[in-house]
């Protein structure tokens, strides 16, 4: 994403100040598309970009619940073409293609690579087909690989009593923010220390109760989400331990460095203490899946030959989808007649019809597994197993 935004201010992409905001939003939309399909920004092909155009011309906007306007599609295509023209001329891309051929009418005539039976092709998947919840077994494996749960145990019959908190990893906390609150990856990395501390200051949190925490949503607007007390307590512990150590070490090396206030920070050697960007979280989740074999086989063309390539099965956004499905069944189990309204508010959709349109199909698909899902939620979220 840093490469994309650096292109806006380049000499090859000189624009008026009034257009910066629009171009930035277009690039965020492009990277959301790439992340959903586990595509690397500098390794895309023309078929990938044709599919990007198709995702706008054939599907519904998850924000407005309406079809994308011709003006929006035209502007986003223009931004995408300008970006990849700049990237290719700068030698940043792995493959070259004629960006001028990628436009709103090209999809009707574009061809996709042939794929082997039962093999998914990211560039040809419809938008709603990408709304996938992580199955319970793979979810357990991913969470365990990310680090131990932040809680040891909770007495469900006495949820307001103290519980045993365990040391965990920053990666596990980031993934839990997506899974427990339905946050987008960019919303996780936009969380602020002060907004977490505002909840914990002078308060004794009930582990199973939820508390409002503010973060920046898509489009740069503030939104309030509900996060379980045990997770907020774990985030507060991270702030006072690992994060504090990283900031102290960074300021010792560079006395002029100031704490930016974002909750999650980088711990790598190249930029310790700096703000963590959303793409880094997606990369970490991809690497996690590769490490434990949660992959899918995708047919690709290399030097004229059709090959099968192993790729991570899920994007970080799948945790948000998993939250939606799990929460839907949990709300129904406690007698909520309108679980969609709660999901709409938590996910930040403009209207409830958008929420239904995105998740109704996947909820129906998981109906038969509702019991297993609720059992998994109790084991992994309440008792801290896994």
Residues of the chain with pLDDT > 70, as a percent, come to 74
The answer to whether 94 and 114 are in contact (CB under 8 A) is no
Q: Return the HEC string of 254-305.
A: CCCCCCCCECCECCCCCCCCCECCHHHHHHHHHHHHHHHCCEEEEEEEECCE
Residue 121 predicted with pLDDT over 70: no
Phi, psi of 117 (to 5 degrees): -55, 140
Residue 43 predicted with pLDDT over 50: yes
pLDDT band at 342 (very low <50, low <70, confident <90, very high): very high
Residue pLDDT, tens place only, 348-364: 888 888 888 888 877 87
pLDDT at 129: 41
Residue pLDDT, tens place only, 70-101: 888 888 888 888 888 888 888 888 888 888 88
d(Cα 277, Cα 190) in Å, to the nearest integer? 9
Residue pLDDT, tens place only, 172-191: 999 999 999 999 998 999 99
Q: Which helix (H) or strand (E) holds 199?
A: helix 193-200
- Both tokens assigned to 51: 């599919």
> Which range, 238-247, 251-260, 328-337, is most confident?
238-247
pLDDT at 61: 62
pLDDT at 368: 60
163-290 belongs to which homologous superfamily?
Answer: Intergrase catalytic core (1.10.443.10)
Q: Is 226 helix (H, G, I), strand (E, B) or coil?
A: strand
pTM of the prediction?
0.65
Name beta bridge partners: 222: 216
Please give the angle made by the CA atoms of 230, 360 and 318, to the nearest 5 degrees. Answer: 50
pLDDT band at 111 (very low <50, low <70, confident <90, very high): very low
pLDDT at 130: 58
Q: Is 58 helix (H, G, I), strand (E, B) or coil?
A: coil
Residue pLDDT, tens place only, 279-335: 899 999 999 999 999 999 888 777 878 888 888 999 999 999 999 998 998 888 888
Q: How large is the average pLDDT for residues 365-379?
A: 58
- Both tokens assigned to 235: 């985030």
Q: How large is the average pLDDT for residues 117-145?
A: 64
pLDDT band at 367 (very low <50, low <70, confident <90, very high): low
pLDDT band at 35 (very low <50, low <70, confident <90, very high): confident
d(Cα 237, Cα 1) in Å, to the nearest integer? 29
pLDDT band at 19 (very low <50, low <70, confident <90, very high): low
Q: How large is the average pLDDT for residues 17-22?
A: 64
The answer to whether 182 and 227 are in contact (CB under 8 A) is no
Residue 221 predicted with pLDDT over 90: no
Residue 194 predicted with pLDDT over 90: yes
d(Cα 201, Cα 240) in Å, to the nearest integer? 13
The answer to whether 37 and 122 are in contact (CB under 8 A) is yes
pLDDT at 114: 32
> Which range, 34-38, 78-82, 370-374, is most confident?
78-82
Distances (CA, A) of 89 to 13, 81, 103: 11, 12, 19
pLDDT averaged over every residue in the chain: 78
The answer to whether 254 and 157 are in contact (CB under 8 A) is no
CATH 1.10.443.10 residue ranges in the chain?
Answer: 163-290
- Both tokens assigned to 317: 């956004």
pLDDT at 362: 77
pLDDT at 22: 77
pLDDT at 381: 47
Name beta bridge partners: 60: 67
pLDDT at 156: 52
């Amino acid at each position: 994403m840093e490469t994309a935004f650096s292109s806006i201010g380049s000499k090859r992409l000189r624009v008026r100040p009034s257009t910066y905001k629009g171009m930035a939003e277009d690039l965020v939309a492009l990277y959301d598309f790439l992340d959903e399909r586990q595509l690397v920004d500098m390794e895309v092909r023309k078929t990938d970009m044709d599919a990007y155009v198709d995702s706008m011309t054939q599907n519904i906007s998850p924000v407005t619940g309406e079809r994308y306007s011709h003006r929006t599609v035209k502007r986003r295509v223009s931004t995408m073409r300008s970006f990849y023209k700049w990237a290719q001329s700068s030698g940043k891309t792995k493959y070259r293609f004629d960006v001028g051929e990628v436009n709103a009418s090209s999809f009707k005539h574009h061809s996709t690579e042939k794929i082997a039976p039962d093999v998914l092709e990211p560039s040809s998947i419809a938008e709603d087909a990408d709304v996938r919840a992580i199955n319970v077994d793979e979810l357990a494996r991913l969470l365990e690989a990310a680090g131990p749960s932040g809680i040891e145990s909770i007495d469900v019959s006495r949820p307001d009593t103290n519980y045993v908190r365990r040391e965990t990893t920053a990666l596990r906390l980031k993934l839990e923010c997506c899974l427990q609150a339905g946050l987008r990856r960019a919303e996780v990395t936009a969380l602020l220390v002060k907004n977490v501390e505002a909840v914990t200051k002078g308060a004794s949190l009930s582990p199973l109760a939820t508390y409002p925490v503010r973060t920046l949503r898509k489009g740069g607007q503030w939104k309030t989400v509900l996060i379980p007390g045990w997770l907020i307590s774990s985030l507060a512990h991270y702030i006072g331990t690992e994060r504090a150590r990283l900031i102290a070490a960074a300021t010792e090396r560079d006395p002029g460095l100031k704490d930016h206030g974002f909750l999650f920070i980088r711990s790598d050697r190249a930029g310790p203490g700096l703000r963590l960007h959303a793409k880094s979280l997606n990369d970490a989740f991809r690497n996690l899946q590769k490490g434990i074999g949660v992959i899918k086989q995708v047919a690709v063309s290399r030097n004229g030959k059709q090959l099968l390539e192993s790729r991570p099965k899920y994007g970080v956004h799948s945790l948000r989808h998993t939250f939606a499905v799990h929460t839907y069944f949990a709300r129904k189990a406690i007698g909520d007649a309108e679980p969609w309204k709660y999901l709409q508010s938590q996910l930040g959709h403009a209207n409830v019809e958008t929420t239904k349109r995105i998740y109704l199909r996947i909820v129906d698909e998981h109906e038969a597994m509702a019991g297993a899902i609720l059992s998994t939620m109790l084991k992994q979220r309440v008792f801290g197993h896994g």
